[in-house]
Amino acid sequence: MPKLLVVRAHPLDSKTSRSMQVTDAFVKSYIENHPTDSIEDINLYDLAIPDIDRDLLQAWSELSSGTAFDELSETKQQKLTLFNGYTNGFLNADKIIIANPLWNLNVPTRLKAWVDTVTVAGKTFKYNEKGESIGLAGDKKVLHIQANGGVYGGKDPANQYLKTILTYIGVTDFQELFVEGMDHTPDKAADIMAVGIEKATALGKTF
């Protein structure tokens, strides 16, 4: 049974968020057209996502030096468990939706923290004998949904960042859906959103 992981990176819902409104349209269509698939729909703003901090860096160092997991401090164990949980959630998915707004030309910080959990040596990529990286996530499909006030055509730093990282870990099927220009041409915002929702609905049938 294929598994779809929906990763939402916006603190607001579809009533006030354009990216979430388009994502809702995709998910609704996907459920209707893939009734037997398993779907996990998460919002990163409702979850605890550990940043790579002193505790995690020390925990990884201690583990690599031979320290057993249960010998780590309770705080380090908790952060490692959370971090590894997101890594495994990504690895267990066949298809991934990443949905976010464009904030200050970048992804929300919660999304950056999540991306760190899926960029893990030995799990999503490895090094060969020459020290070159080899992606291990080539069997996954990714759709990036992003709402932009301006028009960037996928050239914005946020989309380029996600595409670069996911390509690095081996993803070759990286699709994009941008709903953009609503702030640049507010008189056309409703029409732009309608087209975006239509595209999301169509993608939900085929993704």
- DSSP per residue, 123-170: TTEEE-TTS-EEES-TT-EEEEEEEESS--TT-SHHHHHHHHHHHHTT
Q: Answer for the pair 109, 117: CB distance below 8 angstroms, yes or no.
A: no
18 annotated as a binding-site residue = yes
pLDDT tens digits along 114-129: 999 999 999 999 999 9
Confidence band for 28, pLDDT divided at 50, 70 and 90: very high
Q: Answer for the pair 34, 28: CB distance below 8 angstroms, yes or no.
A: no
Give the per-residue pLDDT at 64: 96
Give the per-residue pLDDT at 201: 99
**DSSP designation for 47:** S
Q: Answer for the pair 93, 3: CB distance below 8 angstroms, yes or no.
A: yes
Please give the model's pTM, rounded to 2 decimal places: 0.96
Give the per-residue pLDDT at 59: 98
Give the per-residue pLDDT at 44: 98
Give the per-residue pLDDT at 75: 98
pLDDT tens digits along 46-92: 999 999 999 999 999 999 999 999 999 999 999 999 999 999 999 99
Give the per-residue pLDDT at 93: 98
pLDDT tens digits along 181-198: 999 999 999 999 999 999
- 116 vs 82: CA distance, rounded Å: 12
Give the pairing of strands 141-148 and 125-127. Answer: unpaired
Give the per-residue pLDDT at 175: 98
Confidence band for 147, pLDDT divided at 50, 70 and 90: very high
Give the per-residue pLDDT at 112: 98
Q: Answer for the pair 106, 158: CB distance below 8 angstroms, yes or no.
A: yes
- 9 vs 2: CA distance, rounded Å: 23
Give the per-residue pLDDT at 123: 97
> Identity (one letter) of the amino acid at 182?
M
Give the pairing of strands 125-127 and 133-135. Answer: antiparallel
Residue with tokens 């409702």: 46
Architecture in CATH of 3-52+94-205: 3-Layer(aba) Sandwich (3.40)
The tokens of 127 are what?
């090094």
14 annotated as a binding-site residue = no
- 177 vs 199: CA distance, rounded Å: 8
